Amino acid sequence: MISIRAASERDADDLPDVERSSGAIFREWPGLEWIAEDTVQSADQHRALIAQGVALVAEDEEAGAVGFLNGELTSDGLHIWQIAVHRDWQGQGIGRRLIAAGRQIAEERGAKALLLTTFRDVPWNEPYYQRLGFHTLAEGAITPRLLKVLENEGKAGIPVELRCAMVMPL
């Protein structure tokens, strides 16, 4: 049985392994296979988001942490920095439940939207988020803050031409 709860300091060391496993699915996507071997958020980065941002964990009673969502409240909404579900647990609605819990927190804190950046056309990225109610922003509608996020992703080596910004108004 999976429960969704606020992440705690004790979760931080386990979450990089969840993200690494989650990224393994990219081995199946031509041109993005490198993501499966790319760096993930460190335990210290998770600790910072747990302390200052929004951090949720999907937990199985026996397996422990099997997924997470982390983000931060910004001037334009709750920005989801990362959502990851362990490869062995994908396809069971855990990501959908994490986003629903993130949405509830965003609404409780007065945020007007959920926002994220992701890969275009990758089935478990843009099309998935569209099914959950996110809309892809046209180039002219991307806020300066989201443009900066995309720019920073490019500086980190992520091919920006394959990325998009998305919003779910609340």
Taking each helix axis from N to C end, the angle separating 43-52 and 15-23, rounded to the nearest 10 degrees, works out to 110
- Within a 10 A sphere around the Cβ of 93, how many other Cβ atoms? 13
Domain map of the chain by residue range?
Answer: 2-169
What b/e readout covers 54-90, taking b as 16+ CB neighbours within 10 angstroms?
A: bbbbbbeeeeebbbbbbbebbeebbbbbbbbbbbebb
Please report the pLDDT score of residue 34 as a whole number: 86
Render pLDDT for 80-129 as a digit per residue (tens, 0 to 9): 999 999 999 999 999 999 999 999 999 999 999 999 999 998 999 999 99
Question: Which pLDDT value is given to residue 53?
Answer: 82
Sheet of 64-74, strand order: 2-6, 54-60, 64-74, 77-85, 113-119, 163-169, 135-136
| Per-residue tokens: 166 | 């998305």
Give the CATH fold of the 2-169 domain. Aminopeptidase (3.40.630)
Q: What per-residue confidence (pLDDT) applies to 39?
A: 87
Model-wide pTM > 0.75: yes
Residue ranges in the chain assigned as alpha helix (H) = 15-23, 43-52, 94-108, 126-131, 144-155
- What is the reported pLDDT for 160? 93
Q: Say how far apart CA 146 and CA 78 lie, in whole Å.
A: 12
Positions of the chain with pLDDT under 50: none
